[in-house]
Structure formats: structure tokens, C-alpha cells
Amino acid sequence: MSAGALTWGRRFLMCPPTHFGVLYEINPWMHAEVAVDLERARTQWDGLVAALREAGAEVEVIEQDAEVPDLVFTANAGIVSGETFVPAHFRHPERQPETERFATWFADRGATVERLPDDLSHEGAGDALPFGADTGPGAPVLLSGYRFRSDAAATTPLSVLTGAVVRPIELVDERLYHIDITFCPLDDRHALCAPLGWDRYGTAVVESLVPEPLWLTDDEALAFTANSVVVGTTVLMPHVPPRVGRQLEAWGFDPVAVDVGEFLKAGGACRCLTLALDVDLTGAG
């Protein structure tokens, strides 16, 4: 079946890499001895912004200070649902100062900031992506990854705070430490899916939810192919494997490669650098 369009993904929050760097190691991709070329990072970030705008999206910006080098990965800011924002609770102390930066940004713009319980970790949209609608209550489904950065116990409070049906998926490969490295919703029928990152139950959940998945090989998954951003039928990807590109085009999507190599040094790509601001998980959007 041909491509449709997501009901979200036309407005994004991003953070320019003013103070970005690999200054600590909290995932297998980060090596503190690897230097980031800040000028190149800024050029790549500008390129992603330009590609998003060319595809029809709006981009809003939060500024960074030196205490939060990973603030560029705005997908981890929290979860947006209509006028509600649930800020992330980061597992690693190095990223915990980001929480109040993002909460303040949303509160200043009139959002209602709802908090997870203090003892639960959950890293925002990096570990929670919406897809379609559940067959039961009819609300959108939020696929929520857990284990390396987020707690399975966050499922219930997330559902209460956002209004979504939350389906937890256990992540099993530390290299794919967030769900947005393993899953990319394309429309209400299609998604990029990396089963390397999930246990058998998680794979079964995706199989039952996604009518036409594009299963990624292990090499494609480890190249961050699923960490892509969708605007209408445009898919902005850190690279476009030929096999994946052909299938996307056959479905009516337009895959576009965007160089984010400096950010891959910290274990993040296109999706990690963006937070969709127009998500409504209540089913009212």
C-alpha cells in the first residue's frame, strides 16, 4: 500500500551544538578521547534544519550552555501530548541537569508540565514513539522502550499523564539503547523496524501493530538507519541503504540522506536531534 502521512512531525524543537562534545561515556558509541569537530557539527546541524524546513517542517530552537553537552539530542527532552509536557528523568547523572532546562522552556511557552515519579527513569521521546491507534480504547499507542535508560514501571504513569496506550518493549542490545534507534514510524501502516534491539515479546508487539514493517538487517540497524525523521513523505536519514531506499520509494516515500557524522560519535543521529512538538496522544489531535 502507498505511503500515507503521520498526523505529527511538522514542528520540531532542536538545539544548536554550541557546546556539544563527547565529554563522558554513557553508551557504547561514546569514547571521550574522540574529538568532535564543532564547526563541522554546526554545518551538519544547519543542514538537518534546512532539510526539515525544505520538507515543510517548522523548527524551534533551545539554546545550550556548557554544562549540558548532550542537550543537542532534544528527542530526550520528554514527551509532548497536546499542551502537556512530561520532562524526562535521565538515568545518568551527566544528563540530569537537562531536565529543568527543557521543563522551563516548555513552561515559558504555556505548556502544562506534568512530572513522572521521582524514582522512575524515562528518557522522553527517545524511548517512546507513537504509532497508529490501539484496537481497544482507540487512543494512539506509545511504544516505550525500557532497560538501558528507562524503567518498565514508567509505563503506567506515562499512560496516565499522556492519555496514550503505552506498550512497553524491552531493549536487549546496549548498542541500540533507545527505542528511537530501533523503530521509526513512517505513517499509520509502515515503519522501519530493527528486531536486533528487541526481545521476542517486543518483536511480537511490533508485528501485531505495524501492518507493513520494513525489517532492518543487523548492519542497517547498527548504522542508525531507524534514527530517521519523517515529514510528510520525506524521510531524513543518516544514510540510505540501497535496499531500504528502494523499498521506501516503492511505498511512495522520498528518502534523503543527511550527514550527521559528528553526532554519531555520541550515539545519536537525525531522530535524536529532534523533538516533535505537534504530537497529541489523547486522540483529540
**Segment 211-233, tens digit of pLDDT:** 999 999 999 999 999 999 999 99
Is the pLDDT reported for residue 137 higher than 60?
no
User: What DSSP letter does each residue of 9-74 carry, written as one string?
Assistant: -SEEEE---SS----S--STT--TTSPP-HHHHHHHHHHHHHHHHHTT-EEEE----TT-GGGG-G
d(C-alpha 220, C-alpha 95), whole Å: 28
Give the SS3 label for residue 241.
coil
Contact 101, 71 (CB under 8 A): yes
* pTM confidence score: 0.95
Q: What are the pLDDT digits (tens) for 10-66?
A: 999 999 999 999 999 999 999 999 999 999 999 999 999 999 999 999 999 999 999
Is the pLDDT reported for residue 2 higher than 60?
yes
Which residues are known to be catalytic?
Answer: 178, 272
Residue tagged 542508525 (cell numbers): 224
Task: Select from 195, 199, 211, 70 the least CA-distant residue to 132.
Answer: 211
Task: Select from 82, 42, 105, 84 the least CA-distant residue to 273.
Answer: 42
What burial letters (b/e) apply to 41-80, b meaning 16+ CB within 10 Å? beebbeebbebbeebebeeeebebeeebbbbbbbbbbbbb
For residue 166, which amino acid is it? V
List C-alpha distances in Å: 164 to 42, 46, 141, 156, 190. Answer: 35, 33, 6, 10, 20
d(C-alpha 167, C-alpha 31), whole Å: 33
Q: List the Cα angle 201/202/203 in 5-degree steps.
A: 90
Task: Select from 134, 129, 178, 137 the least CA-distant residue to 158.
Answer: 129
User: What DSSP letter does each residue of 153-215 carry, written as one string?
Assistant: GGHHHHHHHH--EEEEEEB--GGG-SGGGTEEE-SSSEEEE-GGGB-HHHHHHHHHH-SEEEE
Helices then strands, counting H and E runs in the chain, come out as 7, 15
Average pLDDT over residues 104-115: 98
- What pLDDT, on the 0 to 100 scale, is given for residue 132? 81
Q: Sorting pLDDT into bands at 50, 70 and 90, what band is 282? A: confident
Give the SS3 label for residue 130.
strand
Q: What are the pLDDT digits (tens) for 73-101?
A: 999 999 999 999 999 999 999 999 999 99
Torsion (CA) 130, 133, 138, 139 in degrees, nearest 10: 10
